[in-house]
Amino acid sequence: MISVFNYPLYIFFAVLPSLAWLNFYLRKDNRPEPKRMILKVFFFGLIIVLPAIFLEIGIFKTIEEFSLSPSLLLFLNTFLGVALIEEVLKFLVIKEKVLSFPEFDEPVDAMIYSIVAALGFAAGENLLIFLPSKIILFREMLGISLLRFLGATFLHALCAAVFGFFIGLSFFKKEKMSGLVFLGLFLAILLHGTYNLAINKLKEDLKYLYLPIFLLVTVAILVSFGFKKLKTLKNY
């Protein structure tokens, strides 16, 4: 039986991966964003986990009604039922809460806020994993938190950084929702789905460990270059 006194500890370890990456990526901005806005975007990223769950369940059930092979079912569930839903919802947070914000005044801000929304979403996911749990050992909580830090939480940040980069590229365009933005969203969905498929291969055999690692490291390097590119679009 889970003691209510364990819940603060569960919450701490659930949000710790997001807070760690948040601290890392906020340092990428030479002109820090208002803390109130950071908290607001993080919070909205967190609460969209709830509609994401219902949408994903609905898509899973719809896809199951068709007579599909296991491999095709996995592919559709991964890309349509998870990657598409989650990346679009994170993107909508940016579209509705950031693009018209007066402090959104530099291209690199797009990547910063996109990552903040994604880390909020990851924190929401982690809370759903920890709170119903029967984990009672400190090392178990620490281990799961570390795995989420290196895997799923990092993935959410990178995917958001990808579409945030393309939003940043379109910063000086009159029409903010340009083709660049939708290209970025497509690439984020592709990255998310590919990573999830790689994780499924890893579950079959540990020899596939290199797949998700290679994907995360490669995209992390590209995201780093993305930050540098956007900073050149305005004098820092």
Is 129 in contact with 144 (CB distance < 8 Å)?
Answer: yes
pLDDT given for residue 235 in this prediction: 45
CA 164 to chain centre: 11
The pTM assigned to this predicted structure is 0.92
The pLDDT of residue 236: 42
pLDDT per residue rounded down to tens, the chain (236 residues): 455 557 788 888 899 999 999 999 999 888 888 999 999 999 999 999 999 999 999 999 999 998 889 999 999 999 999 999 999 999 999 999 998 888 788 899 999 999 999 999 999 999 998 876 666 677 788 888 999 999 999 999 999 999 999 999 988 765 555 788 999 999 999 999 999 999 998 888 888 888 999 999 999 999 999 999 998 886 44
The pLDDT value recorded for residue 62 is: 94
- What is the per-residue DSSP string for the chain? ---GGGHHHHHHHHHHHHHHHHHHHHTT-SSPPPHHHHHHHHHHHHHTHHHHHHHHHHHHHHHHTS---HHHHHHHIIIIIIIIHHHHHHHHHHHHHTTT-TT--SHHHHHHHHHHHHHHHHHHHHHHHHTT-----HHHHHHHHHHHHHTHHHHHHHHHHHHHHHHHHTTTSSSSS-HHHHHHHHHHHHHHHHHHHHHHHHHH-GGGGHHHHHHHHHHHHHHHHHHHHHHHTS--
The residues spanned by each domain of the chain are 4-232
| pLDDT of res. 10 | 84
